[in-house]
Amino acid sequence: MILHDLAATETLAQHLARLARPGDALLLSGPLGAGKSALARAFLRALLGDPALEVPSPSYTLVQSYPVPGGGQAHHFDLYRLGGAEEVLELGWDEALEGIMLVEWPERLGAMAPKGALCITLTPLDEDRRAAQLTGWEGRL
């Protein structure tokens, strides 16, 4: 699908947040500047019901966790700076699998990528537009 602007990215994120449930992973791929963080930010704001929520990029902390209304946690991972897949275990990966996970740079996971994840690949087309390819979550999208 073509996302014509940030508002379209946010609308997609809001739709996905309504479908997400504990144990789900969203794997966000694409080059720097593709909109992965913007999609993750909009997803978390919609999931947590707070459009003004401060959602910092976890580029340096590697993971940010948020309590989900009604119980559970949402975890936003940015694995760009990860040296290897084994380092993700030090970030509380096993515990995070029980919650809802957004993972930027999931290529760093290798074989640790969660089965049944929704894979979202964002490709910049120009300054505003992105192509989004979604695979996974069969029967749910």
Higher per-residue confidence, 19 vs 139: 19
- Residue spans of the domains in the chain: they are 2-135
* pLDDT for 68: 94
b/e per residue 97-136 (b: at least 16 CB within 10 A): eebbbbbbbbebbeeeebeebbbbbbeeeeeeebebeeeb
Average pLDDT, rounded, for the chain: 92
* pLDDT for 36: 94
Higher per-residue confidence, 64 vs 141: 64
Q: How far is Cα 44 from Cα 36, in angstroms, rounded to an integer? A: 12
How many Å is the Cα radius of gyration of the chain? Answer: 14
Q: How, if at all, do strands 100-104 and 73-78 pair?
A: parallel
Closest to 48 in 3D by CA, of 13, 79, 8: 13
- pLDDT tens, residue by residue, 32-90: 989 999 999 999 999 999 998 888 777 767 899 999 988 899 999 999 988 877 888 88
Q: How far is Cα 138 from Cα 28, in angstroms, rounded to an integer? A: 17
The CATH class, in words, for 2-135 is alpha beta
